[in-house]
């Protein structure tokens, strides 16, 4: 008889793990995901990706508003799971669910734990300029992403990857590692390895205002932020009354612009060059607020008011990225 699994996940990152469990023949007795949320201009509730996938396979779906409510806990444990598997669910899993199933709960996390514990590990790895990352399967404990490691797989971060591209790749990697690890874990063949607390770091949830670019940072740090903040919340700056979402950028040496102060627009040609705290930030592709994506050259053809020597607007204190 296949093991009974309760799966808990919400965004697109979690879908490959759920698919892998189904394809591997596990008895997924319940899929727990976040409630439908309003989205877009219409404000109509939209189901999360995990719900859409689960419904297509006829899996039973449960969407509690608060996972820690006793009624929600009873509903989940009533399915008598052997193990709970989570991947980017979006709420803290309470102790009764961690301890209720015979094999507890395990989690698929998109970093090389103990680095980047938290809700946005992919974004923060990119924003910190990491050259490698990976996925980790942990046995869950009450502390956030702090449980002992069951398995881990490392990969390089490639220069073209932003958060969307890297997260999609890690989702598939995590799903593969999950179905390799779970049978061995259930057979008692894995000795969990405690995390090294001295090496821990955190990846807190990002907010919309975290997308504001601070040109006191180096050009390279700004490029890392563009990669980490794409697609959400998006990396942006404001100038001449417009908010500009930066989609593709690179860092250059100061060159002839060494005397310019940070935040100064130093060149408007086929690209937009802005002096940073160190180096020059080069915008190649962008999206003006309320308009389509375009190259910097396309954008500048319609912007006669933009002038070299002007300063971009500094971020407000509320917009300065934490960490």
- Annotated binding-site residues for (6S)-5,6,7,8-tetrahydrofolate read 111-114
How far apart CA 134 and CA 122 sit, in angstroms, is 9
Token reading at 59? 């899996």
Burial 139-169 (b: 16+ CB within 10 A, else e): bbbeeebbbebbbbbeeebeeebbbebbbeb
Q: Annotated binding site: which residue ranges?
A: 111-114
Q: Which two tokens stand for residue 244?
A: 């500009």
- From the CA atom positions of the chain, what is the Rg in Å? 22
- Look at residue 39 and give its three-state secondary structure: strand
Closest CA to 128 of 202, 195, 199, 196: 202
Outline where 204-318 has alpha helix (H): 219-229, 296-301
> How far apart, in whole angstroms, are the C-alpha atoms of residue 299 and residue 301?
6
The partner residues of 38 in beta bridges, in order of sequence, read 45
Q: Are strands 61-62 and 44-46 parallel, antiparallel or unpaired?
A: unpaired
Distance CA(202)–CA(117), nearest Å, equals: 5
- Give one DSSP letter per residue of 68-83, joined into a string: TSHHHHHHHHTT--SE
């Amino acid at each position: 008889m296949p093991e009974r699994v309760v799966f808990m996940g919400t965004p697109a990152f979690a879908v490959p793990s759920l698919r892998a469990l189904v394809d591997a023949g596990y008895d997924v007795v319940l899929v727990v995901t976040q409630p439908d949320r309003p989205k877009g201009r219409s404000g109509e509730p939209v189901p999360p990706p995990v719900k859409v996938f689960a419904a297509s396979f006829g899996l039973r779906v449960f969407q509690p508003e608060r996972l820690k409510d006793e009624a929600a806990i009873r509903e989940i444990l009533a399915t008598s799971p052997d193990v709970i598997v989570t991947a980017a669910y979006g709420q803290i899993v309470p102790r009764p669910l961690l301890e209720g199933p015979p094999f507890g709960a395990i989690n698929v996390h998109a970093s090389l734990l103990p680095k980047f514990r938290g809700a946005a590990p992919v974004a923060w790895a990119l924003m910190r300029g990491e050259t490698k990352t990976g996925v980790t399967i942990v046995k869950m404990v009450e502390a956030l992403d702090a449980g002992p490691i069951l398995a881990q797989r490392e990969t390089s971060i490639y220069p073209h990857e932003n958060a969307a591209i890297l997260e999609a790749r890690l989702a598939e990697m995590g799903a593969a590692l999950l179905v390799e690890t779970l049978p061995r874990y259930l057979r008692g063949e894995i000795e969990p390895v405690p995390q090294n607390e001295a090496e821990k770091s955190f990846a807190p949830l990002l907010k919309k205002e975290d997308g504001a670019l601070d040109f006191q940072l180096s050009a390279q740090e700004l490029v890392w932020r563009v990669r980490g903040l794409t697609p959400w919340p998006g990396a942006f700056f404001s100038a001449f009354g417009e908010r500009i979402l930066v989609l593709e950028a690179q860092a250059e040496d100061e060159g002839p612009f060494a005397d310019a102060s940070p935040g100064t627009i130093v060149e408007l040609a086929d690209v937009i060059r802005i002096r940073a705290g160190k180096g020059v930030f080069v915008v190649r592709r962008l999206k003006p607020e309320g308009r389509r994506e375009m190259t910097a050259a396309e954008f500048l053809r319609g912007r006669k008011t933009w002038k070299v020597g002007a300063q971009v607007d500094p971020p407000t204190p509320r917009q300065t990225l934490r960490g």
